[in-house]
Amino acid sequence: MSAQETSQAVQPPKLYNWNDIPREFVRRGIERAGLGGENVVLQFGWVEPGAALRPHQHDHEQIVLILEGECIYHVGGVPHQCTRGSFVRVPPHTEHYIEVTGTETVLNLDIFAPVPEPYAHLLAHQKAEWGA
Please give the domain boundaries of the chain with CATH numbers for all domains. Answer: 30-130 (2.60.120.10)
Which run of H or E residues covers position 96? strand 96-100
Residue type at 72 in one-letter notation: I
| pTM, 2 dp | 0.85
Q: Is 86 left (phi over 0), alpha (psi -120 to 50) or beta?
A: beta
Phi and psi, residue 59, nearest 5°: -80, -10
Q: Tens-digit pLDDT profile for the chain (132 aa)?
A: 444 444 456 778 888 998 899 999 999 999 999 999 889 999 999 999 999 999 999 999 999 999 999 999 999 999 999 999 999 999 999 999 999 999 999 999 999 999 999 999 999 988 877 766
